[in-house]
Structure 1
């Protein structure tokens, strides 16, 4: 889909939720998803503010945009899949579960979901909602980009908090991802209960 097709779908199927996840490739911590419904009359404003793929934004810019998105959104919710769920079911299934948990909390419920990537939601928790997957959706679709920002800010804050509990892994800096320093810490002090064993045992 291109941007014009996405915008037409957002208008035709309103309210539409953009859905994205963060933390899929991390060694530590939960996978976090966000689902965001944006008002049609605020899309241009959010675009002008610079809402785009969270990976292209600085941490401070994401923080500012997170506030703007939450202030303007019709609905904005977070969903989480735990480390134990990731290890039990695999990261893809856990990511899709986190996305569905975010959607399930939305009020109102969307008439359509735009999902980042190429994997469709399985709808194990709620009645199926029509959905469209969008490859590189966080760069093409404003509501998916908004979800990517909200999820990233929430998870980064969570990692900073957990860094005070699980010391020695440099979590406040690496946000749970497998940097050289993080891997060295695991080799020296071992895994914490929040490390994904299905990831770290294979990759370190």
Structure 2
């Protein structure tokens, strides 16, 4: 599975990545948070974010962001062919930030080609996998990719909150209900 979408940064408020999905985001001069830690990017920047991440757009300036979403099967196949262990390379406490402008130009060009060919449809799936592998190889072979530890120190609370919401999703509960469960004033 993979898909490409261009969305407004305003709609990325508390964007939670799926448990099976990796995400490549192309941003420019941005302030964002990942797992409640704030980061600043300068110039065109590519982020590779793993599953179960909480991404929030903080910058006051809105922009259109390209997001490439793909499942772990594509990611794993890249590493299995190279006899490299996936464990720990991109876990829920790390992400990759790439600012190398030469790499960025190539990746943006590849993503534009993927969009123009409507890659993600079933008839273009194999071509899309090749393009994604090319992007992933740029990230891991570049040597300038910054690996950032973004582990949220109180991840247990986030998981408890997710479980609470899942338990009561069919009922109309007020914010005060959830706040009371965590002993928080509203």
TM-score (norm 2): 0.26
TM-score (norm 1): 0.25
Higher relative contact order (CA 8 A, sep 6+): 1
Which one has the bigger helix percentage? 1
